[in-house]
Amino acid sequence: MDTYGRAIPTAAPGVTGGAHGNSDDVNARDDEPLAELRLDRHRDLEGRRREEWGRRIVTSILVVFVLLAAANVFGQRPSSAAASGSAAQLVVSTPSTVRGGLIFQTRVEVSARRRIAHPTLVLGGGWFDSMTLNSIQPGPESQESRGAGVTLAYPSLDAGDHMTVWLEWSANPTNVAWNRPQQVALDDGGSPLVALTRHVTVFP
């Protein structure tokens, strides 16, 4: 107590030397946040070179995936394929690589070189294997199954007429395929006119 009856503050345990106590006692505490850090191990990475190279390898793999995606390796940029016959020319534009869960578009163009009384598009089963057909524009006059595929019948075409059909698809999330064949044919009723086969790869 001082002369005014007030309590005199005492130093905290382990701290000496008044307000400027011995710093060695404080720095020696085991619960300091940086007590376990060592320059040789944590800055210079001595004895940790394997960890350093492991991080570099993982980072490089991620960069490679990004570059491959930018190069359209995993889809979904469309590519075109064409086939011609005496009656018509058939052109199909659709992605050759897609990823599970993606929505993509297919364009089918028919150019008639003579009259086609019953133009019918025939899509092989590879188009529907783990794929969902969301819409067809313009819609066909009739739609039927033929084996594993589907036929889409449209109004007659005269020589010089053009017809474009748009199909919207979804690749099912569990769909995985490598070079799966997708056949497209143009028939006049039941008479084959021209056909082509594409291939699609579906990444998970």
pLDDT digits 0-9 by tens, 98-114: 888 889 999 999 999 99
pLDDT digits 0-9 by tens, 166-195: 999 999 988 888 989 999 999 999 899 999
- State the pLDDT confidence band at 61, using cuts at 50, 70 and 90: confident
The pTM assigned to this predicted structure is 0.66
**Of 63, 93, 70, 89, nearest in space to 80 by CA:** 93
Is the separation of the CB atoms in 98 and 104 below 8 Å?
yes
The reported pLDDT for the residue numbered 111 is 97
Average confidence (pLDDT) over 15-20: 45
Question: Where does the chain show beta strands of DSSP type E?
Answer: 78-84, 88-95, 97-99, 103-112, 119-123, 131-137, 142-146, 149-153, 162-171, 177-188, 191-203
Peptide bond into 78 cis (omega under 30): no
Residue entry with tokens 């503050």: 9
The domain spans of the chain are: 20-70, 78-203
The reported pLDDT for the residue numbered 24 is 44
What would you measure as the largest C-alpha separation in the chain, in angstroms? 121
Superfamily name and number for 78-203: ntegrin, alpha v. Chain A, domain 3 (2.60.40.1510)
